[in-house]
Amino acid sequence: MNTATYTVEGMTCGHCVSSAKEEVGEVAGVGGVEVDLATGLLTVTSDAPLDPARVAAAVEAAGYRLAVGS
């Protein structure tokens, strides 16, 4: 099991968390998504390593962005 953690910028409420989880959860290969609103941390689990650009694109589709260096 692979785990990757990113920092998401722009989330301010529970709906933001739900949107980010839904979009990232649709990326092929993602097995699980956890989002912590207080810290902005997005934790993604998968069977194989994921392309960070695909995760970033999903976060952007939800209306947010990954912090530089995530």
- Rounded CA gap, 64 and 17, in Å? 10
Question: Among residues 58, 48, 57, which one has the least CA distance to residue 21?
Answer: 58
Enclosing domain of residue 13:
2-66
Total domain count, the chain? 1
Q: Is the pTM of this model over 0.85?
A: yes
What is the pLDDT at residue 33? 98
Query: Residue 54 maps to which CATH number?
Result: 3.30.70.100
pLDDT band with cut points at 50, 70 and 90 for residue 68: confident
- Rounded CA gap, 59 and 14, in Å? 15
pLDDT digits (tens, 9 = 90+) for 1-51: 899 999 999 999 999 999 999 999 999 999 999 999 999 999 999 999 999
